[in-house]
Amino acid sequence: MVNKRGRKRKNEIYFGPDEEKAVNDFLASTDDTERNLIYNQWLKDPLDKMIESIIRRYKLYRKGETFEDLHTDTLSFLMTKAHKFENSRGKKAYSYYGTICKHYILGLLIKDEKYTKQTASYEDVFSDIEERKDLSYVIDEDEFSMEDFLVKLINSIKKEIDDEQLSKKKLTDNERKVGYALIEILQHWETAFDTTHGGAKYNKNSILETMRNYTNLSTKDIRLAMRKYKELYEFLKDSNL
């Protein structure tokens, strides 16, 4: 049964001896109704306040996530770990639960920071690639249309793969993967490519990222396999269609 306790006064510590005892009663109970009663009457408000204080005190705000969502997420995580508290070790539930919440949010922030750094590094690398003329694919729109060029390029890539099957012309596994991926991407170039204001210059950030998703190959492997198809591109461009 739930032990009766007096009503808390406004200026009373929000997680004191009564709340510590409530945690022990909550963990010791095997009755769901009793556990819900203990939680709602004695633990819900104190735990809400504890998480709010941790976020605001240490300024553990997460970009792209509202305070309310972060608070709810942290509370949900805490409840999956609440049963691990052991009063027999002489620890306070407030300190134990507070540490769990703080470490959880810090873990999210560290993960976010790593992702941001990786993304920034990826963009820096391909921004540099995009500036290199030897790796640029530029089409003179005065000579032919984008649509016509892509149709011819797609057909040339298909023929390259079909010829291998008919004449046993060897392509590496990576070249085949890249070839099929190029066909798929070029057939949907409106969404795969992002042209620049200076002309019909393919955005290699978008292309390489999409290629990685299609092939599961590294950027290095994609660039090596692309050499064969770059030759097709150069041939089509030089022939003026």
Mean pLDDT over 24-51 rounds to 95
Per-residue pLDDT band at 81 (split at 50, 70, 90): very high
**pLDDT at 9 (0 to 100):** 43
Which two tokens mark 49?
């306040």
Residue pair 104/80 in contact by the 8 Å Cβ criterion: no
Angle of helix 44-57 versus helix 67-81 axis, rounded to 10: 120
What's the whole-model pTM score?
0.48
Among 4-18, 32-46, 131-145, 217-231, the minimum mean pLDDT is found in 131-145
Phi/psi-derived region of residue 48, left when phi > 0, alpha when psi is between -120 and 50, beta in every other case: alpha
What is the per-residue pLDDT across 125-142, written as a single tens digit (0 to 9) for each? 555 555 555 544 444 444
Mean pLDDT over 107-111 rounds to 89
Residue pair 229/142 in contact by the 8 Å Cβ criterion: no
Task: Answer whether residue 198 shows pLDDT above 50.
Answer: no
**pLDDT at 8 (0 to 100):** 45
Task: Answer whether residue 26 shows pLDDT above 90.
Answer: yes
Per-residue pLDDT band at 102 (split at 50, 70, 90): very high
Per-residue pLDDT band at 215 (split at 50, 70, 90): confident
